[in-house]
Structure 1
Amino acid sequence: MIAGVVLAAGGGGRFGSDKRQARLPDGRTLLEASLSAFIGQVDELALVLPPEDAFGLALCRQLALRPLRCDRHRGGMGHSLACGAAWALSLPDCRGMVLGLGDMPAVKPLTVSQIAAALWRGQPVLPCHLGRAGHPRGLPASCLAGLLDLNGDAGARDAVDWSQALRLELDDLGVLLDIDREADLSGLA
């Protein structure tokens, strides 16, 4: 089984407000659009959220996702990643985890499916578009324990040897497009 984890517990300080709730041209929220690529492409899907996040919890209920409350989310992305890795490791027969970001609304579902399928090879999976590495990333089960002690702004780049990754060249510009500032939304129109 392949798990999916989407990180959405960050503060989004550069955006100026809760960017997860920003409306896209199609009417969906940024977070809803980012999650849509994962629905039906992985066996289990969880969303890492800050505690007491009414918006995130409502979205989890609506989409039948597992909410993962990260009490230490203000300490940096490393804590959120460790939370997601611990959940994936708790799943019976988990062979790996597709790790997504809650601010990447243009990733195609086929991309998530291809990353999940490639994880069965047992090595990290790095999606690329025109040679540039992006997200979501595939982490085999053998890498997950190494993520449990992450903290601060340390991410998987600090715990995984990406030089050993399977590089998937994909026709998906969405693997490179993340929304950090409100002006970035104009690129989605």
Structure 2
Amino acid sequence: MNPHAILIPAAGASRRMEGRDKLLEMVDGLPLLRRQARRALDTGAAVLVTVPALDHPRVAALHDLPLRLVPVPDAATGMAASLCRGVACLPPGVRGVAILPADMPDIDAADIATLLARFDAADAALLVQATGGDGTPGHPVIFPADCLPALREVIGDTGGRAVVQANRHRLVRVPLEGARALTDLDTPEAWRAWRDANPGA
């Protein structure tokens, strides 16, 4: 069994998208959420995706993919709800979980594999965080198994930031080229700028 898991939080409401769902925007001919889930699956890790409900349109975008869907009925309380419920559903025996935001289209399977390799090189004892090429902290972040209880206790909309801060003494940062680890698309303006920079995507 692959000892890694990847959790894609996808239960948010896309409130800044003026009525559109950012995770269903088409990229390379696929809804962004499906595209990113496939990239996560390409690593061989177990993949879990949180969704607002099992009848949400995002679920249709993931049909036939070998991943676990985790409904988050309390998603309106913040990102922490996705982390708590997703971590609670991880397969037994995982050495670590990578938190992969779904709205970061520049992250690919090779980037995730690079981070997982660094995690394994430290015998799954460290937290591993992607950064931009300039060292700015970004995503994904990999948490070792001993951090999972703390992730199940986070609250609000800051995600796993408190857990990273509490473990900063054993945090390693891995730079990814350019702004790959920093680019998230959660407004129409961000989408327009990204499409301008990535014609044909």
TM over 0.5: yes
What residue is the counterpart of 1:153 in the other structure? 157
Deviations 1:100-154 (A, max 9, x none): 1111111021111112222232111011122111111111111111011222213
Matches within 5 A, 1:34-53: 34-53=36-55
TM-score, normalization: structure 2?
0.85
RMSD: 1.7
Instruction: Choose the corresponding residue for 1:175, options 165, 172, 181.
Output: 181
Number of residues of Structure 1 aligned to a counterpart in Structure 2: 186
1:139 counterpart = 2:143: yes
Letter of the 1:114 counterpart: T
Contact 2:34–2:62 under 8 Å retained in 1: no
Letter of the 2:29 counterpart: G
Flag the 1:62–1:93 CA change in 2: closer, same or farther, 3 A: same
1:162 counterpart = 2:168: yes
Deviations 1:12-54 (A, max 9, x none): 1011222111123x22222123323312214210101111443
1:124 counterpart = 2:130: no
Matches within 5 A, 1:7-156: 7-16=9-18, 17-24=20-27, 26-88=28-90, 91-120=91-120, 121=122, 122-130=125-133, 131-156=135-160
- What is the percentage of aligned positions where both structures have the same residue? 27
Q: Distance in 1 between matches of 2:106 and 2:173?
A: 20
Question: Moved runs in structure 1, 4+ residues, more than 4 A?
Answer: none
Q: Distance in 2 between matches of 1:55 and 1:39?
A: 21
Gaps of 5+ in 2: none
More displaced 10-residue stretch of structure 1: 154-163 or 142-151: 154-163
More displaced 10-residue stretch of structure 1: 134-143 or 29-38: 29-38
Q: Distance in 1 between matches of 2:65 and 2:31?
A: 13
TM-fit CA distance, 1:163: 4.8
What residue is the counterpart of 2:7 in the other structure? 5
Gaps of 5+ in 1: none
Contact 2:85–2:152 under 8 Å retained in 1: yes
Q: Secondary structure at the match of 1:145?
A: helix
Letter of the 2:172 counterpart: L
Q: Distance in 2 between matches of 1:105 and 1:176?
A: 10
TM-score, normalization: structure 1?
0.90
Q: Secondary structure at the match of 2:43?
A: coil
